[in-house]
């Protein structure tokens, strides 16, 4: 079953950007787009919708006014060019707040948040519930899905990172810090300025080196004590 989404924005280009992003996620379906708040409200209150992407500055009535009139339990994601409304939006219990222009990595974080909540709400046993969640990365203009449990380690290479699994290596334009923030910190740890490893994949530790399968990975001097305490605890 696909997660049904609605896009509401008076700027056609903003809707087009989101539509293009959604083509990379087969678990989602955009079931409608609106540039008029009143028409959108009627649709939301009469049609099952899982998530609504909503601009704040809309003709007829603002996005905040529309939220107050939604009768269903549809989750709302604010999309706006203005950062200053974030506090007010969270008071309305929105799921996320995206600032235009919306970068694809930030959109992916939102998608993961929607997916998690959707599965919890519908009591769906998924990869996430088994500790086998996933991330998406952009490789050669395609969004590639990687199961987190398959990741051995992530290596930073200046403006790029290399994600290594037992069967394949993926290279994408991204910082190691940004990628590490998307990985569960109870399963992954930064052990060097250039490496983040999967804790449960460690085969052995010798001196300041960690063995994962056939890979030997250095432990940074500043990380050594914390790494060994974590792995050997």
Listed in order, the ranges of the chain carrying CATH 3.40.50.2300 are 3-121
The pLDDT assigned to 130 comes to: 36
To the nearest 10 degrees (0 to 180), the angle between helices 12-22 and 104-121 is: 70
The pLDDT assigned to 141 comes to: 75
- Whether residue 90 is predicted with pLDDT greater than 80 in this model: the reply is no
Which numeric CATH code is attached to 3-121? 3.40.50.2300
Q: What would the pLDDT profile of 157-207 be if each residue is shown by its tens digit? A: 888 999 999 999 999 888 888 888 888 888 899 999 999 999 999 999 988
CA angle in degrees (0–180, nearest 5) for 124-26-186? 55
- 102 forms beta bridges with none
Peptide bond into 101 cis (omega under 30): yes
Smallest CA-to-CA distance from 23 within 169, 191, 190, 138 is with 138
Q: What would the pLDDT profile of 2-45 be if each residue is shown by its tens digit? A: 899 999 999 999 999 999 999 988 889 999 999 988 889 999 98
- 211 forms beta bridges with 204, 216
The pLDDT assigned to 110 comes to: 92
CATH of 144-232, one of 2.60.40.10, 2.40.50.1020, 2.60.120.260, 2.60.40.730: 2.40.50.1020
The pLDDT assigned to 93 comes to: 82
The pLDDT assigned to 131 comes to: 43
Q: What would the pLDDT profile of 50-83 be if each residue is shown by its tens digit? A: 999 999 988 888 899 999 898 888 899 999 998 8
Q: What would the pLDDT profile of 135-169 be if each residue is shown by its tens digit? A: 888 888 778 889 899 999 999 988 899 999 999 99
Question: How many Å apart are CA 153 and CA 189, to the nearest integer?
Answer: 9
Helices of type H across the chain:
12-22, 37-46, 63-69, 86-91, 104-121, 176-180, 224-232
The pLDDT assigned to 211 comes to: 95
DSSP state letters, 92-136: TT-SEEEESS--HHHHHHHHHHHHHHHHHHTT---TGGGT--EEE
Listed in order, the ranges of the chain carrying CATH 2.40.50.1020 are 144-232
Question: How many Å apart are CA 20 and CA 182, to the nearest integer?
Answer: 22
Smallest CA-to-CA distance from 37 within 18, 21, 56 is with 56
Output 139-146 pairs: Cβ under 8 A, ≥24 positions apart.
Answer: 139/170, 139/171, 139/172, 142/24, 143/24, 143/25, 143/108, 144/170, 146/170
The structure's pTM equals: 0.56
Q: What would the pLDDT profile of 109-143 be if each residue is shown by its tens digit? A: 899 889 888 877 765 433 433 344 788 888 887 78
């Amino acid at each position: 079953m696909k997660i049904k989404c609605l896009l509401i924005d008076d700027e056609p280009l903003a809707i087009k950007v989101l539509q293009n992003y959604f083509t990379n996620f087969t678990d989602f379906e955009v079931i409608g787009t609106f540039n008029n708040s009143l028409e959108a409200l009627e649709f939301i209150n009469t049609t099952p919708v899982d998530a609504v992407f909503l601009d704040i500055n809309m003709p007829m009535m603002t996005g905040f006014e529309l939220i107050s009139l939604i009768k269903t339990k549809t989750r709302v994601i604010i999309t706006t060019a203005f950062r200053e409304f974030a506090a007010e939006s969270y008071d309305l219990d929105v799921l996320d707040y995206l600032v235009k222009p919306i970068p694809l990595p930030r959109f992916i974080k939102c998608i993961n948040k929607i997916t998690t909540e959707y599965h919890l709400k519908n009591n769906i046993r998924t990869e996430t519930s088994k500790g086998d969640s996933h991330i998406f990365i952009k490789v050669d203009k395609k969004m590639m899905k990687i199961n987190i449990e398959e990741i051995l380690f992530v290596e930073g290479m200046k403006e790029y990172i290399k994600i290594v699994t037992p069967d394949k290596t993926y290279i994408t334009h991204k910082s190691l810090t940004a990628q590490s923030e998307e990985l569960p910190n109870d399963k992954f740890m930064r052990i060097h300025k250039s490496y983040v490893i999967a804790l449960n994949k460690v085969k052995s530790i010798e001196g300041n080196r960690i063995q994962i399968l056939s890979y030997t990975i250095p432990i940074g001097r500043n990380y050594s004590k914390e790494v060994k305490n974590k792995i050997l605890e």
